[in-house]
Amino acid sequence: MEGYLSEGGATGSHAGDQKISASPALEALMQVQEYDLAIDQLLYRRSHLEAISALDACMKRVGKIASERQRVAAERDAAIARQDGLEADIAQASERIRSIEKRMYGGEVSAARELEAMAHEVEHIASRRSELEDAEIQCMEELEPLDQAIAALDKDAAEAEAQATRLEERAHAECDAIDEEVASIAKQRDDAAGGIPGDLLAQYEAIRKHLGGQGAARLLHGVCTGCHLSLPAVEHQRAMHADPGAIITCEQCGRILVR
Ligand SMILES: [Zn+2]
């Protein structure tokens, strides 16, 4: 196995089972990993913000209120159209009654039979008009709860929209704070990564990506702290006797072992 660093390479190789000080590159790698894990945690927190899930729920409520309002408004519009139609019919009936009565009492018609027929017609139209008026009253009675429902839905919508605005502001503020923290840690991470050879860093990043988090782990008393499994005795001996800068990976999990 080839070491990345020349310093300390010769002294570490015959140190037996005692703790060999890790190379600065591997120590820097552990630091980079700490920063990476801290960033992972922050990004996880960012994607699971309570304000964002509350905002989603709130927007669903806004949508539900809007569709309910649309439904009630359509019902109200239909009732209004019905009322308008009834009013027009009532006006027309009144107009016809007025016109017949004008002829009846205007002196133009004198035949008793004709006058009787006209009186009958007036009576008939008046009865029909009375029915129309009843229907109009019923229509107005139907409109009242619909108007109330729309007013209540408008109030609910205003409240839900105000809550959505508040949650949006909160989510933005929380995201901004996390982004700031991530940027600050990323800078420290990059500084630490500067002391690590490119191929070691690339190897670490590939393992980290594959395993979803940890690319390197300390080897403590023959146990890989990444997967918590003991290294086979032969492997452990080999790891302990290797050049401190040599890159050794755990056979079980594949992580870079830092001795
Ligand atoms: Zn392991």
Cβ 90 vs Cβ 136: under 8 Å: yes
| AA identity, residue 258 | V
Residue 132 scores a pLDDT above 90: yes
Element (H, E) at 21: none
Distance 24 CA to ligand 1 centre (A): 21
Residue 129 scores a pLDDT above 80: yes
Distance 252 CA to ligand 1 centre (A): 5
Range 146-174 average pLDDT? 98
pLDDT band at residue 167 under the 50/70/90 scheme:
very high
> If we measure between CA atoms, which residue out of 199, 240, 200, 246 comes closest to residue 3?
246
pLDDT digits over 97-124, tens only?
Answer: 999 999 999 888 889 999 999 999 999 9
Distance 42 CA to ligand 1 centre (A): 25
Distance 225 CA to ligand 1 centre (A): 7
In residues, how long is the chain? Answer: 259
Residues 6+ apart with CB under 8 A from 118: 100, 103, 104, 109
Cβ 223 vs Cβ 229: under 8 Å: yes
Ramachandran angles phi, psi of 15, nearest 5°: -85, 5
Name the residue ranges covered by the structural domains of the chain: 9-46+197-258, 50-180
Residues 6+ apart with CB under 8 A from 18: 240
Residue 254 scores a pLDDT above 80: yes
Ramachandran angles phi, psi of 5, nearest 5°: -120, 145
> If we measure between CA atoms, which residue out of 151, 146, 155 comes closest to residue 80?
146
Distance 43 CA to ligand 1 centre (A): 25
For the ranges 6-10, 136-140, 200-204, the lowest mean pLDDT is seen at 6-10
Cα 153 to its chain centre, rounded Å, is 23
Exposed, middle or buried by CB within 10 Å (0-12, 13-18, 19+), for 109? middle
Question: What distance in Å separates the CA atoms of residue 36 and residue 49, rounded to the nearest whole number?
Answer: 20
- pTM comes to 0.69
Q: Which fold has domain 50-180?
A: Helix Hairpins (1.10.287)
Element (H, E) at 220: strand 216-220
Residue 65 scores a pLDDT above 90: yes
Distance 217 CA to ligand 1 centre (A): 7
| AA identity, residue 183 | A
Distance 212 CA to ligand 1 centre (A): 14
Distance 254 CA to ligand 1 centre (A): 6
